Amino acid sequence: MMLPVWLSKTAWPSNTADSVQSAFLIVTAVCCVLLLGVTATMIAFLIKYNSRRNPVPGPDRENLSLEIVWTVVPVAIVLGMFYVGWVNFDYIRDAPADTMNISVLGRQWQWSFTYANGRQSGKLRVPLGKPVKLEMTSADVIHSFYIPAFKVKEDVVPGMKTHLWFIADRPGAYDIFCTEYCGLGHSRMRAKLIVMPVAEFNGWYRQKAEPPPNRGLALLQAKGCLGCHNVTSQVKVGPGFKGIYGSRVTVLVKGREQVMTVDEAYLKFMITNPDVWVVKGFPPIMPKIPLTEEETGEIIQYIKTLK
Amino acid sequence: MKGQASYLEPGEGRGGFWAGWMLSTDHKRIGVMYLAALLSFFSAGVVLGLLIRLNLIDPGLVMGPQRYNEVFTTHGIIMIFLFIIPGVPVAFGNFFLPLMLGANDVAFPRINRLSWWVYLAGATMIAAALFINGHPPDTGWTFYAPYSIRTHTNVTLAVMGVFVLGFSSILTGLNFITTVHTMRAPGMTWFRLPLFVWTLYATAWVQLLATPVLAITLVFIALGRVFGVGFFDPSRGGDPIIYEHLFWTYSHPAVYIMILPAMGIISEVVPVFARKAIFGYKAVAYSAIAIAGVGYLVWGHHMFTSGMSGKARIIFSLITFLVAVPSGIKVFNWVATLYRGSIRMDAPLYFAASFIFLFSLGGLTGLIQSALAPNLNLHGTYWIVGHFHYVMFGGAGSALFTGLHYWFPKMFGKMYSQRRAKIGCLIFFIGFNLLYFPMFILGLNGMPRRYFDYPRRYFTGHLISTMGSWVLAAGLIVIFSNLIKALISGEPAPANPWGGRTLEWQTSSPPPHENFEIPPFLEETGEGKSGFRAGEAG
């Protein structure tokens, strides 16, 4: 069941934003009335019964019926608020049967999206007006997938599948935020949601994924390395890759500084044992990424080309 | 009463200054030491909070992202575990529970001293986690797994510090329960207990029963970090959601450990300054017990978006709405107590009125986020940050300031400048709302909490909030410089400056070591009214 929507449906970019907002407005309106009532009464009493105006206090009287009223009425009010929150909630949480499903993987500090046909993307592209269901999980710690414009979120938990669904009602680009604290790059764990007209979406969806220009780059992307490293020389969380090969870096080895040249052996050691040596000036937070020997080689070869 | 030395003066056979305080079993000395420790930690927490706010108007201005995460975590750990959870019970509870009961001390004075030492030990461990090699914890005060198991910062020492603090809390709870049961003055029946005592009693049960859950949960985190036991780590067969359940099973009742005694202070102050008995004494007393009881069953609202089943969310939402009712009743009864009173607008009532507004706003925004659909938008955003600062700082914090101004003359035998206290209160109130109200707007528009950096469109809200933090800090400086000045050179306070009717006002200011020269008793009239007439000593 939907509540009577006295706001134009098109005012909101998704069905979920619409129902969340109508419940929010009703509950908030009631709370504002209560707050204003209590505050105004308190101020009126403080002024009216000031000791200068009212030097002798009135008799101490109990008033049982008044107390019953202000117990029963608030119970009724909160039950009403609970109901308003609940009816909309069922609609927002329970996805219909005919959704288009997209897998979402969260990892420190990057989102990636995989479609039914195997297409992968770092941006969440969805068709306008079609129900979309996100099936989400995490590769490391708890994250939370939040689309502020659509007013919905759900935690993304390792070892568990969670979901969200929505119908996007307005084309455009929207923010995606992580709202469960997940470490150093938490505030940078953002992505874009792109709502496209159906025909345009279908064109993008059917088009074969651009062949990765390079397998090393594809691996950096797929394994989440680019959550913390840039392929330019810019520092993100860890060092940027461009120009790093052949450069000399200061590394902390058991707390002692040592200057090393970045060569193949160095890169291989740093990728496979990220917690042993730490480059000076960077936090010791790189996780061990499961990679085969061959994949590590591809990545090193790619980094060598970044000059 | 002039003949006896006050508890502040060194007594015979009590050793020098340090031993006289640290080895003392006098509940008043212990309460004052707790108060000093609490306010020191509070100051440290405020400084960290100001740094967070400062950094948010220009991320990177004073610290980078790693340092920022450590600072907001430390701010939370200090404010929650070292200031506001022990808060009112250890400072004012210790000092005034025996006085209000007409007793000469708590039931187990030496256990009380042990609680104080254990508190210091826990606080030392937490301080060590901040300063010894490596980094301070960067997990947020909630220590969510599996991040807290994987991070390289000093989480193990910090959670063990919180574990130790838990024992202090449990022992204090045990002591207070026994004291209320066994140490009441002749004639003080349960329904003639001051309401502050009722709330301390309800709180003590929560401390006793809920704290062990937190303790064992934090031991699991430490075991996970040191021995690789995978209770909460899915890569080792554990479940991070179990951690959330266990953590909030304690930490939600902990919210009531913070707010119940705060409500007790307001229930004492409002009637005294309105010259009326509290309206609906029994309802206020029962609502404290109801909040403590039902408060155990609502922890799931911290986990609405955790991936919990829809049914569980619906049940937790329903119970959360119901637990709001007793809090509402208290607010109505405080306001009704003012009706036809003869109100003296002294400084403590300024703070109490400010509490009623800030706490009501905090409580009502709590209702909005407990509604399941709106919660989907508000959870994990600045809305939540705004809400809990209104409840904890605006609520529990303001009540602590109320108690401080109400009982300061009794505790230290000195009067402060009322005018400066009122000015300080108004500056604090304005700064508070400037600081925290914009957070509701930010959160409603999607600004996530615990963000080092944010999209440009949230800048204005952050700027107003940060400027509010400076106003609030100015208010705190006025409030506390006034009290410190009074401590050094204040006028001597009379025994009963406000016309209070509870027993602590029947003895001198400051009270003698043994509290009462002649043990007090209560006349056999006035059951069911907090404004009972205390029997005149002798």
Contact between chains at B274 and A49 (C-beta distance less than 8 A): yes
Contact between chains at A93 and B310 (C-beta distance less than 8 A): yes
Residue A3 lies in a domain: no
pLDDT at A7 over 60: no
- Cβ-based contacts of B235 with chain A (< 8 Å): 158-159
- pLDDT tens for each residue of A149-175: 999 999 999 999 999 999 999 999 999
Contacts of B226 (CB under 8 A, 6+ apart): B156
Per-residue pLDDT, averaged over B94-99, amounts to 95
User: Could you tell me if A134 and A111 lie in one domain?
Assistant: yes
pLDDT at B534 over 60: no
B526 close to A (CB below 8 A): no
Residue A153 lies in a domain: yes
- Residue B376: CA atoms inside 13 Å, Cβ hemisphere, count? 34
Mean pLDDT over the full length of chain A? 87
- Tally helices (H) and strands (E) across chain A: 6, 13
- Is residue B3 within 8 A of residue B511, CB to CB? The reply is no
Nearest partner of B172 among B197, B148, B153, B200, judged by Cα: B200
Unique residue bearing structure tokens 């619906």? B314
Whole-angstrom Cα distance, residue A258 to residue A272?
Answer: 19
B234 close to A (CB below 8 A): yes
Examine the fold and report which residue of A206, A235, A269 is the final residue of a domain before the chain moves on: A206
Residue of B nearest to A74 (CA): B325
pLDDT at B275 over 80: yes
Residue B167 has a pLDDT of: 94
- Cβ-based contacts of B445 with chain A (< 8 Å): 148
Residue of B nearest to A78 (CA): B321
For helices B398-412 and B94-101, the axis angle rounded to 10 degrees is: 60
Contact between chains at B310 and A28 (C-beta distance less than 8 A): no
- Is residue B295 within 8 A of residue B256, CB to CB? The reply is yes
Per-residue pLDDT, averaged over B80-84, amounts to 94
Whole-angstrom Cα distance, residue B415 to residue A292?
Answer: 74
Please give the biggest Cα pair distance in chain A: 90
Q: Is A225 helix (H, G, I), strand (E, B) or coil?
A: helix
Per-residue pLDDT, averaged over A265-277, amounts to 84
Residue B503 has a pLDDT of: 92
Unique residue bearing structure tokens 């020492």? B157
User: Could you tell me if A190 and A136 lie in one domain?
Assistant: yes
User: Could you tell me if A41 and A75 lie in one domain?
Assistant: yes
Burial class of residue B53, CB neighbours in 10 A (0-12, 13-18, 19+): buried
- pLDDT tens for each residue of B340-398: 999 999 999 999 999 999 999 999 999 999 999 999 999 999 999 999 999 999 999 99
- Cβ-based contacts of A54 with chain B (< 8 Å): 340-343
Residue B14 has a pLDDT of: 61
Residue type, A292: T
Counted domains in chain B: 1
B529 close to A (CB below 8 A): yes
Residue B372 is classified by DSSP as H
Whole-angstrom Cα distance, residue A17 to residue B104?
Answer: 61
Examine the fold and report which residue of A175, A206, A237 is the final residue of a domain before the chain moves on: A206
B380 close to A (CB below 8 A): yes
- Cβ-based contacts of B375 with chain A (< 8 Å): 85
pLDDT grade for A2, boundaries at 50, 70 and 90:
very low
Contact between chains at B147 and A142 (C-beta distance less than 8 A): yes
Contact between chains at B448 and A179 (C-beta distance less than 8 A): yes
Residue A288 lies in a domain: yes
Examine the fold and report which residue of A206, A235, A256 is the final residue of a domain before the chain moves on: A206
pLDDT at B525 over 70: no
Token pair, residue A272, equals: 């496979």
- Is residue A155 within 8 A of residue A179, CB to CB? The reply is no
Residue B12 has a pLDDT of: 61
Contact between chains at A178 and B364 (C-beta distance less than 8 A): no
Per-residue pLDDT, averaged over B437-451, amounts to 95
Question: Which tops the pLDDT comparison, B235 or B117?
Answer: B117
Contacts of B66 (CB under 8 A, 6+ apart): A184, A283, B135, B138
- Provide, rounded to the nearest whole percent, the portion of chain B with pLDDT above 90: 77
Residue A259 has a pLDDT of: 86
Residue B169 has a pLDDT of: 94
- Cβ-based contacts of B368 with chain A (< 8 Å): 24, 27-28, 31
Query: For the CA atoms of chain A, what is the radius of gyration?
Result: 28
Mean pLDDT over the full length of chain B? 91
What range defines the domain where residue A121 resides?
100-206
- Is residue B107 within 8 A of residue B182, CB to CB? The reply is yes
Q: Is A131 helix (H, G, I), strand (E, B) or coil?
A: strand
Identify from A70, A109, A137, A156 which residue to disrupt to test chain B contact, counting B C-beta atoms within 10 A and taking the largest count: A70
User: Could you tell me if A114 and A194 lie in one domain?
Assistant: yes
Residue B147 lies in a domain: yes
Contact between chains at B329 and A148 (C-beta distance less than 8 A): no
Burial class of residue A289, CB neighbours in 10 A (0-12, 13-18, 19+): middle
Separation in Å, CA of A138 to nearest CA in chain B: 10
User: In chain A, which among 151-170 make CB contacts under 8 A with chain B?
Assistant: 151-155, 157-160, 162
Whole-angstrom Cα distance, residue A67 to residue B433?
Answer: 31
- Cβ-based contacts of B344 with chain A (< 8 Å): 51
Residue A209 has a pLDDT of: 64
What b-and-e string marks burial along B111-120, b requiring 16 or more CB atoms within 10 Å of the CB?
bbbbbbebbb
Whole-angstrom Cα distance, residue B395 to residue B270?
Answer: 15
Contact between chains at A51 and B343 (C-beta distance less than 8 A): yes
Nearest partner of B358 among B285, B281, B275, B429, judged by Cα: B429
B533 close to A (CB below 8 A): no
Contact between chains at B377 and A90 (C-beta distance less than 8 A): no
Question: Which tops the pLDDT comparison, A57 or B431?
Answer: B431
A192 close to B (CB below 8 A): no
Contact between chains at A57 and B342 (C-beta distance less than 8 A): yes
Counted domains in chain A: 3
- Is residue B30 within 8 A of residue B113, CB to CB? The reply is yes
User: Could you tell me if A108 and A79 lie in one domain?
Assistant: no
Nearest partner of B366 among A76, A28, A16, judged by Cα: A28
Size of interface A-B (CB pairs under 8 A): 248
User: In chain B, which among 123-142 make CB contacts under 8 A with chain A?
Assistant: 138-140
Residue A133 lies in a domain: yes
- Is residue A230 within 8 A of residue A240, CB to CB? The reply is yes
Residue B61 lies in a domain: yes
Residue A127 is classified by DSSP as E
ipTM score of complex: 0.89
User: Could you tell me if A178 and A226 lie in one domain?
Assistant: no
User: Residue A18 maps to which CATH number?
Assistant: 1.10.287.90
Identify from A154, A155, A228 which residue to disrupt to test chain B contact, counting B C-beta atoms within 10 A and taking the largest count: A155
Per-residue pLDDT, averaged over B136-161, amounts to 91
Residue B75 has a pLDDT of: 96
CB-closest option in A46, A149, A188 to B453: A188
CB-closest option in B150, B305, B446 to A144: B305
Whole-angstrom Cα distance, residue A158 to residue A155?
Answer: 10
Residue A1 lies in a domain: no
Question: Which tops the pLDDT comparison, B478 or B61?
Answer: B478
Q: What angle do CA B532, B358, B486 make, to 5 degrees?
A: 65
- pLDDT tens for each residue of A23-44: 999 999 999 999 999 999 999 9
- Cβ-based contacts of A160 with chain B (< 8 Å): 234, 239, 241, 307
For helices B27-57 and B94-101, the axis angle rounded to 10 degrees is: 140
User: Residue B350 maps to which CATH number?
Assistant: 1.20.210.10
Residue of B nearest to A138 (CA): B234
CB-closest option in A21, A24, A62 to B368: A24
User: In chain B, which among 457-516 make CB contacts under 8 A with chain A?
Assistant: none
Token pair, residue B299, equals: 């922890």
* Strands of A120-121's sheet in order across: A120-121, A110-115, A100-107, A131-138, A162-167
B178 close to A (CB below 8 A): no
Residue A211 has a pLDDT of: 63
Contacts of B47 (CB under 8 A, 6+ apart): none
Residue B458 lies in a domain: yes
- pLDDT tens for each residue of A66-110: 889 989 999 999 999 999 999 888 888 889 999 999 999 999 889
A288 close to B (CB below 8 A): no
Residue B529 lies in a domain: no
Token pair, residue B414, equals: 């000195």
Residue B29 lies in a domain: yes
pLDDT grade for A148, boundaries at 50, 70 and 90:
very high
Bridge partners (DSSP) of residue B161 are none
pLDDT grade for B531, boundaries at 50, 70 and 90:
very low
Q: Where are the beta strands (DSSP E) in B2-160?
A: none
Residue B271 has a pLDDT of: 95
Residue B538 has a pLDDT of: 29
Separation in Å, CA of B235 to nearest CA in chain A: 8
Contact between chains at A85 and B274 (C-beta distance less than 8 A): no
Residue A175 lies in a domain: yes
What b-and-e string marks burial along A108-132, b requiring 16 or more CB atoms within 10 Å of the CB?
bbbbbbebeeebebeebbbbbeebb
Residue of B nearest to A185 (CA): B65
Unique residue bearing structure tokens 């455009």? A172
Residue B521 lies in a domain: no
Per-residue pLDDT, averaged over A184-200, amounts to 93
- Provide, rounded to the nearest whole percent, the portion of chain A with pLDDT above 70: 95
What range defines the domain where residue B410 resides?
17-506
Whole-angstrom Cα distance, residue B475 to residue A234?
Answer: 43
Nearest partner of B504 among B286, B347, B288, B272, judged by Cα: B272
pLDDT at A6 over 70: no
